[in-house]
Structure 1
Amino acid sequence: MKSLVLERKDELSLRDFPIEKDEEVLGPRDVRIKLHTVGICGSDVHYYTHGRIGPFVVEAPMILGHEASGTVIETGSEVTTLKEGDRVCMEPGIPDPNSKATRLGMYNVDPAVRFWATPPVHGILRPTCVHPEAFTFKLPDAVSFAEAAMVEPLAVGVHAATKAKIKPGDIAVVLGAGPIGLVTALSALAGGCARVYVSDLSDKKLQIAQSLSPAIIAVNAAKETVGERVKADTDGWGADVLFEATGSPKAAAQIFEPLAPGGCVVLIGGQSEPISYDAGAAMVREARVENIFRYAHVFPRCVAMLASGAIDVKPLITRTFDFDESVKAFEIAASAPPADVKMQIELPQ
């Protein structure tokens, strides 16, 4: 089927691609989905520009894409919660149901998890896919296909906010105003934060951040230090929670500066190399440090918040391309336009 294929580093093509038969077999608890909207994730772009992310190396042509929504067109014989015609979004990681991590409820850290567009597993920038019923979620009428394709990145922010154990009235800092930083800011507000400071170097992205809520305060890191700004606004106390969503070693080295005593740091942004960690700064604050890897058990929460209006991701969708423009879309995404947050691709219906 016609797919967006990463042939190798720096080379994409839109071509007919043979899908292995076992990927297309509809099991009794599977559904077949016609894809509608697929978001372009930073990891997709990184595979395109670098050919690898940490230990995951592109060694053969691979279909990209893992943020998706679509329509069920066929169901397995034992499927009970979905039917043909249902609009859905899909959680892209399928764990081994018998692994210890899965049985403990931490299926996202199962070493055997098969995650779309992570070598050697193909993604879903293609017309159809087969997916387990258990990881496919029906959409309420109030949630569009475009919003539904944002559930995957939103799940990262909701998982991070959950790990932070936010309390009503907390003050939070988010380092990074990219897609993950902004969905994390929205998740922190939905979790009860009174204010969220968002720090970045891009004025365009900070303008988008500030437009999302009057409770979001934009801080340009090139002009002022977020730690100084937060402490000035909190009588020197600091923020209750800090989310690191840049993936930048320089930013990660400063995670404790804005943090209040007893505060929590959640590391979200992936770091390709070991980072500087100020153990003394963490110690004197008795800081709690959490790490997240993707997400677990949050897709239904995300769908419910989109449906109720508790979280609005529509302002983050800044550009949409037709499927035939997929290569161009990735070339633009790789150039990191400062005014763009989330780009999406719509497939023919």
Structure 2
Amino acid sequence: MNSATSATDPTTQEKTMNAVVLERRHEIRIRPVPGPGRVGPDEVRIGVHTVGICGSDVHYYTHGRIGPYVVEDPMVLGHEASGTVLEVGADVTHLAVGDRVCMEPGIPDPRSRASRLGIYNVDPDVRFWATPPVHGCLRPEIVHPADFTYKLPDRLSLEEGALIEPFAVAVHAVTKARISPGDVVAVVGAGTIGVLTAIAATASGASRVYVSDVAPEKFAKLRAYPTIHPVDAGEQDLAEVVREATEGWGADVVFEASGNPRAFGSLWEAPAPGGAVVLVGIPVSPVSLDVAAAQARELRIETVFRYANAYPRAIELAASPAVDLGALISATYPFEEAVTAFERGAEARPTDTKIQIRVAGA
């Protein structure tokens, strides 16, 4: 038996707690919601410490939907989270009360065909935090499957732990790219995912990484990485810069991390013959792909949807001296100022990389 007493009075577990709730488009409130309930034998209760604001959270706030996912009922926001274990279920052996953890927000059906194949991220029945109709984690406590809860090494802060979720996207993308030591890489888009992908590519052996964006202010967080080279898309063409730097050959791997439909018009000009194009950003509307251009150079095309089996690698890499996730945090708001934090997120300031909300003590 590995059960433990919760740090919270068990008699209060069924009571309400405040949460950050998207009531409808353009309306967020902090208000009571039902508590997470009791802990099952394979679950843990976690006191949430920090939650990052993701672009998807902001998109639900500003647009009320992402593709087929529509906010029809009030929804608790947040899926990038870290915290401290308060209680463990009877069958949990790898975690203990007091452990600092981060949580993988997508829970698949373990019996699904996708899960058995190891691609549980594309399980049609996956339940992902803050994706309608599933509630997120912007609340003081959550109950979560222990198998999707990961202990943080001492070198990582809880704030950095909340960045593991978007970093897992980057690590998954770099893994699918199959980067080799010395590869030249190009990244389109210097938003949070683009920046993290550039960092992951550098840490995975890329000799040079060229990152383009129309807002050069976004490059500030990359100055600590001497092998990452910013390209101001308003002044320079990424493909031309890469070709000039590689004697006309091109990049071994190109990551599209902007999701901007305009980026696809010239996407095939940057990769080298036999290279790879990894689609990380998700366009909000259909885009055109020049298949003939890709075929003419036998480009390998990979697509990325969230991640699968990437959290352990992301944690190990984040804890290495090659990565500094903490430097990407632009601002941290207390729980009671969560609405202000989302309003800032909706502003999309080019100098912001990651905005977080401190939930602990809420």
1: distance between equivalents of 2:112 and 2:196?
30
1:115 aligns with 2:140: no
Aligned letter for 2:104? E
1: distance between equivalents of 2:320 and 2:191?
24
1:305 Cα deviation (Å)? 1.5
2: distance between equivalents of 1:132 and 1:199?
39
1:283 aligns with 2:295: yes
User: Paired residue for 1:18, among 34, 53, 72?
Assistant: 34
1:325 Cα deviation (Å)? 0.6
User: Paired residue for 2:162, among 149, 154, 157?
Assistant: 149
2: distance between equivalents of 1:266 and 1:76?
40
Matches within 5 A, 1:68-217: 68-209=81-222, 211-217=223-229
2: distance between equivalents of 1:230 and 1:87?
42
CA contact (8 A) 1:175 1:198 kept: yes
Matches within 5 A, 1:219-230: 219-230=231-242
1: distance between equivalents of 2:191 and 2:118?
29
Could you say what secondary structure the match of 2:114 adopts?
helix
1:304 Cα deviation (Å)? 1.2
2: distance between equivalents of 1:142 and 1:109?
32
1: distance between equivalents of 2:220 and 2:47?
36
Q: Which runs of 5+ in 1 are unaligned?
A: none
Could you say what secondary structure the match of 1:45 adopts?
helix
1:259 Cα deviation (Å)? 0.8
2: distance between equivalents of 1:120 and 1:283?
40
Cross-structure match for 1:298: 310
Aligned letter for 1:10? H
Could you say what secondary structure the match of 1:207 adopts?
helix
| 1:34-68 residue CA offsets vs partner (Å, 9 max, x unmatched) | 00000000000000000000000000000000000
Q: Percent of aligned pairs with the same residue? A: 57
Matches within 5 A, 1:223-242: 223-242=235-254
1:254 Cα deviation (Å)? 1.8
1:316 aligns with 2:328: yes
Aligned letter for 2:114? A
Matches within 5 A, 1:236-255: 236-255=248-267
CA contact (8 A) 1:30 1:131 kept: yes
CA contact (8 A) 2:50 2:360 kept: no
1:348 Cα deviation (Å)? 3.1
Aligned letter for 1:2? N
2: distance between equivalents of 1:172 and 1:128?
41
CA contact (8 A) 2:47 2:360 kept: no
| 1:196-229 residue CA offsets vs partner (Å, 9 max, x unmatched) | 00000112102323x1301000001111100011
1: distance between equivalents of 2:348 and 2:154?
33
| 1:65-112 residue CA offsets vs partner (Å, 9 max, x unmatched) | 000000000010111000100000000000000000000000000000
Cross-structure match for 1:45: 58
1:307 Cα deviation (Å)? 1.9
2: distance between equivalents of 1:254 and 1:158?
25
1:256 aligns with 2:268: yes
Compute the RMSD of aligned alpha carbons: 0.9
1:313 Cα deviation (Å)? 1.1
1:261 Cα deviation (Å)? 0.1
1:267 Cα deviation (Å)? 0.3
1:252 Cα deviation (Å)? 2.3
Aligned letter for 1:30? E
Cross-structure match for 2:7: none
| 1:162-188 residue CA offsets vs partner (Å, 9 max, x unmatched) | 000000000001101011001100111
1:308 Cα deviation (Å)? 2.4
Could you say what secondary structure the match of 2:332 adopts?
strand
1:25 Cα deviation (Å)? 2.8
Runs of 4 or more, structure 1, over 3 Å off, are none
Could you say what secondary structure the match of 1:308 adopts?
coil
Cross-structure match for 1:271: 283
Aligned letter for 1:341? T
Q: Which runs of 5+ in 2 are unaligned?
A: 1-16
1: distance between equivalents of 2:226 and 2:202?
11
Cross-structure match for 1:6: 22
CA contact (8 A) 1:316 1:342 kept: yes
2: distance between equivalents of 1:243 and 1:24?
41
Could you say what secondary structure the match of 2:31 adopts?
strand
1: distance between equivalents of 2:126 and 2:37?
18
1:302 Cα deviation (Å)? 1.2
CA contact (8 A) 1:70 1:145 kept: yes
CA contact (8 A) 1:206 1:220 kept: no
CA contact (8 A) 2:317 2:323 kept: yes
